Amino acid sequence: MSILAHVPAGSGQPASPPQTARSARYRFLPYLLLLPGAAWLLLFFAVPLVQLASASLYDPEGSLSTGYALTWAFGNYPTALQQYWPQFSRSFLYAGMALVLALLMGYPLAYAIAQKAGRWKNLLLVCVVAPMFTSFLVRTLAWKTILSDNGWLVGLLRDVHLLGPDGRLLATPIAVVLGLTYNFLPFLVLPLYASLERLDYRLLEAASDLYASPLKTFRRVTLPLSMPGLIAGTLLFFIPATGDYINAELLGTPNQYMIGNVIDSAFLVRLDYPQGAALSFLLMSAILAVVFVYLRRAGTEDVL
């Protein structure tokens, strides 16, 4: 589908001169409108991306003081992967687990807000978005207090024997996955809400008139119609969650570190730019691969 298909592009009528001028102007209008966005994309996405790509091929023997030479060192990739594959797989595992949790919570939430909330709709939406008004870091630190070893939550879980007497939540994979789920939930809920809100209630009524069970109605009507929101939401959730390093850093331990932590340390601590860049590129391609497979299977090419 094309957004700009409706721009009257002159429709090929070589008429009087003023009209030609007009149509020529219309012809360039879309490009003109695109100019700010395209320039932004070029400057802040494409250029850094190419720079990163070339950094990933720098000579790994280079250093800050002597500078790095581009030697097309493709060996940086296998080396990086071999050293850090556990963190890599962990990133996808944790992000995947968080996504499942977020879907279980987010879908009913979005559905309730969109279809059942009535006059509370706006208030509930504000509640979903409100945490975003404080910084990501502060929210994650708040979770440290909630999950604290001596906090009420851990105390309660110990009392009901869900946790052993020495059990804890903080500094475990559970805490990291919970943190990821919480921090990125709004990115999933908002697009879902947007598509569920447009859901025509009469379609659901029609389904039940035709003797579809509620489950079947959901499977055959609601779910397909909410697909665009669901897909956009999952992507918006999964992509940043995979690359996140704050949750693992603050709520986890070294044994929970994700690939983001490794990249952070490669760039800031070890000053190994080629490896940091190679890891970033690997992460990016892995995510792209997952997204492509997902979109193919979900059957919506519209998103791209």
Residue 286 and residue 77 in contact, taking contact as beta carbons nearer than 8 Å: no
50: contact with other proteins by CB under 8 A: yes
Residue 221 and residue 115 in contact, taking contact as beta carbons nearer than 8 Å: no
Site string for other proteins, 245-264 (x = CB under 8 A): -------xxxxxx---xx-x
> And the tokens for 37?
């966005």
Q: Which part of the chain contacts other proteins (CB under 8 A), choosing from 45-53, 92-100, 125-133, 235-243?
A: 45-53
Number of Cβ within a 10 Å radius of residue 140:
19
Q: What is the DSSP letter of 130?
A: G
Q: How far apart are CA 99 and CA 183, in angstroms?
A: 11
Q: Which part of the chain contacts other proteins (CB under 8 A), choosing from 25-33, 121-129, 174-182, 195-203?
A: 25-33
Nearest distance, CB of residue 225 and other proteins, angstroms: 22
How many CA atoms, within 13 angstroms, populate the side-chain half-sphere of residue 230?
19
Site string for other proteins, 54-93 (x = CB under 8 A): xx--xx--xxxxxxxxx------------x---x------
Q: Which part of the chain contacts other proteins (CB under 8 A), choosing from 95-103, 166-174, 183-191, 210-218?
A: 166-174
Q: How far apart are CA 156 and CA 154, in angstroms?
A: 5
Q: Which part of the chain contacts other proteins (CB under 8 A), choosing from 53-61, 186-194, 212-220, 230-238?
A: 53-61
Q: Which is nearer to other proteins, 122 or 145 (CB)?
A: 145
Nearest distance, CB of residue 197 and other proteins, angstroms: 23
CA-wise closest residue to 186 among 227, 240, 244, 147 = 240
300: contact with other proteins by CB under 8 A: no
> And the tokens for 250?
């603050």
Nearest distance, CB of residue 47 and other proteins, angstroms: 4
Q: Considering only residues 92, 94, 114, 168, which one is a binding residue for other proteins as defined by CB under 8 A?
A: 168
> And the tokens for 299?
């059957």
Q: How far apart are CA 11 and CA 78, in angstroms?
A: 53
9: contact with other proteins by CB under 8 A: yes
Q: Which is nearer to other proteins, 43 or 127 (CB)?
A: 43
Residue 247 and residue 140 in contact, taking contact as beta carbons nearer than 8 Å: yes
Task: Output Rg (C-alpha) for the chain, integer angstroms.
Answer: 25
Q: What is the DSSP letter of 218?
A: I
269: contact with other proteins by CB under 8 A: yes
116: contact with other proteins by CB under 8 A: no
12: contact with other proteins by CB under 8 A: yes
CA-wise closest residue to 279 among 293, 263, 290 = 263
Number of Cβ within a 10 Å radius of residue 234:
21
Q: Considering only residues 99, 124, 170, 231, which one is a binding residue for other proteins as defined by CB under 8 A?
A: 170
Chain residues in the site for other proteins (CB under 8 A): 1-5, 9-12, 27, 30-31, 34, 38, 41-42, 45-47, 49-51, 54-55, 58-59, 62-70, 83, 87, 144, 148-150, 166, 168, 170-171, 252-257, 261-262, 264-265, 267-273, 304
